[in-house]
């Protein structure tokens, strides 16, 4: 594996880095940030700036207006975008739209792509992914799916409740996972302004980085034409893996940028703050934390790049993406946690960006599968034994 960057990718990295520094970071204190994420007006301004810079939705296919980045190129660009808490929003690469765009590109019909995918890539339409349910419905175990889809002529009637639906408030389209009468799962596409969809509330959460927050949606006899099935009926769980395997990795990429930002803030403080007769960073208790941060950042980046490289070779990488999700979410969290400690009082206030990164990042160890579920899955695969060799020597 050669991880050296081509001149073109270096130029793109530098362009994104400059854009984030000059066009995005100055808006981090904008009052249009709310407890449920950046307001629509702030998102629209950020998206407009990225559009002008030629950086909007870079992961999408060129035919829809994207740059068609490879997975390794995404690793570089997404990390740079993640250096600002608003960067992923600006480039239109934040969850859930980033993963939904990937899913629609892979699975949707041409008619569905023109109706929903193209405006998503253009930044004119937000989406949400409605799978998680309140108990006793689906959570980390999707087989507990309780939302139902019942055939009614040429349509389906969808009934059920979903929660933790990121971006639900203000989304224009939803991808809804529902159980069919034969017990299989199917994904449906529906405009959010349809009768039968109710946003019951927006949940309060530690993180404040996702436009639209996290909503509770109730579906009551939502009528969806059969033509709005995403892909093929009965293949919802398979398509969930099409979406989730790369989406786990792009989370790792974005949060790596924010962990690096926190490390930079802690380093600046350790170099300038004096205590007990010398710079804070000259005390071993602090310098060791900074060194551990550097090792965790490097470890996370290696896992991201290795898995991205395998994806670019056409590997499925479910095993590797689960492993990267656990390694990166925990390593990046450790980095930010140490940075809070190094910054002291400044680390728990709005005096630096680190407190916000700390609050936003905590959920990373939970969404797209808690670390414990991934460990359980990885352990089972290891016990089952190797089924196929890969370039990385892993099993799946």
Burial grade of 396 (CB within 10 A; 0-12, 13-18, 19 or more): middle
**Number of neighbouring beta carbons within 10 Å of residue 248:** 26
pTM of whole model > 0.85?
Answer: yes
How far is the C-alpha of 76 from the C-alpha of 127, rounded, in Å? Answer: 25
Task: Find all residues with CB under 8 Å of 314, minimum gap 6, and list them.
Answer: none
Identify the CA nearest to 75 among candidates 327, 315, 318, 251.
251
**Number of neighbouring beta carbons within 10 Å of residue 30:** 14
Ranges of beta strands (E only) in the chain are 33-34, 37-38, 127-130, 148-152, 155-166, 173-179, 185-191, 197-203, 214-225, 274-275, 278-279
Per-residue pLDDT, 391: 38
Per-residue pLDDT, 309: 94
pLDDT tens sequence for the chain (396 residues): 677 899 999 999 999 999 999 999 999 999 999 999 999 999 999 999 999 999 999 999 999 999 999 999 999 999 999 999 999 999 999 999 999 999 999 999 999 999 999 999 999 999 999 999 999 999 989 999 999 999 999 999 999 999 999 999 999 999 999 999 999 999 999 999 999 999 999 999 999 999 999 999 999 999 999 999 999 999 999 999 889 888 899 999 999 999 999 999 999 999 999 999 999 999 999 999 999 999 999 999 999 999 999 999 998 888 999 999 999 999 999 999 999 999 999 999 999 999 999 999 999 999 889 999 999 999 999 999 865 434 343 332
Q: Length of the chain, please?
A: 396
Domain boundary assignment for the chain? 7-94, 127-234, 237-384
Per-residue pLDDT, 386: 67
Instruction: Tell me if the domain spanning 7-94 has CATH number 3.90.1150.10.
Output: no
Tokens 């460990």 correspond to what residue? Answer: 375
8 A C-beta contact, residue 362 and residue 262: no
CATH number of 127-234: 2.40.110.10
Superfamily of domain 237-384: Butyryl-CoA Dehydrogenase, subunit A, domain 3 (1.20.140.10)
Cβ-defined contacts of 381-388 (< 8 Å, 24+): 381/319
Per-residue pLDDT, 245: 80
Tokens 């349809």 correspond to what residue? Answer: 194
């Amino acid at each position: 594996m050669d991880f050296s960057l081509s001149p073109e990718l270096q130029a793109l990295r530098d362009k994104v880095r400059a854009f984030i520094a000059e066009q995005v970071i100055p808006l981090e204190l904008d009052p249009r940030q709310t407890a449920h994420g950046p307001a629509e007006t702030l998102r629209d301004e950020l998206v407009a700036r990225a559009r002008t810079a030629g950086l909007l939705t870079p992961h999408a296919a060129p035919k829809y207006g994207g740059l068609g980045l490879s997975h390794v190129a995404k690793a570089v660009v997404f990390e740079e975008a993640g250096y600002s808490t608003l960067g992923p929003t600006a480039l239109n690469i934040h969850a859930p739209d980033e993963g939904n765009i990937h899913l629609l590109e892979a699975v949707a019909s041409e008619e569905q792509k023109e109706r929903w995918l193209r405006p998503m890539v253009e930044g004119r339409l937000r989406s949400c992914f409605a799978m998680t349910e309140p108990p006793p419905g689906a959570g980390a175990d999707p087989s507990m799916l309780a939302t139902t889809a019942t055939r009614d002529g040429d349509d389906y009637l969808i009934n059920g409740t979903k929660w933790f639906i990121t971006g639900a408030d203000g989304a224009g389209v939803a991808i809804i996972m529902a159980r069919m009468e034969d017990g299989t799962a199917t994904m449906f596409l529906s405009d959010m302004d349809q009768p039968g969809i109710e946003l019951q509330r927006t949940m309060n959460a530690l993180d404040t980085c996702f436009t639209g927050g996290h909503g509770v949606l109730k579906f009551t006899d939502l009528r969806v034409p059969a033509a709005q099935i995403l892909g093929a009926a009965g293949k919802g769980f398979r398509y969930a893996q099409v979406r989730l395997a790369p989406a786990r990795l792009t989370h790792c990429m974005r949060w790596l940028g924010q962990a690096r930002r926190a490390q930079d803030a802690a380093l600046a403080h350790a170099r300038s703050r004096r205590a007990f007769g010398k710079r804070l960073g000259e005390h071993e208790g602090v310098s060791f934390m900074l060194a551990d941060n550097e090792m965790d950042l490097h470890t996370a980046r290696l896992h991201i790049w290795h898995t991205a490289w395998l994806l670019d070779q056409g590997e499925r990488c479910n095993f590797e993406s689960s492993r990267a999700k656990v390694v990166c979410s925990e390593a990046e969290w450790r980095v930010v946690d140490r940075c809070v400690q190094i910054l002291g009082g400044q680390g728990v206030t709005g005096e630096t960006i680190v407190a916000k990164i700390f609050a936003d990042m905590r959920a990373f160890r939970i969404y797209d599968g808690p670390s414990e579920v991934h460990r359980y899955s990885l352990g089972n695969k290891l016990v089952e034994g190797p089924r196929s060799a890969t370039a990385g020597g892993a099993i799946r």
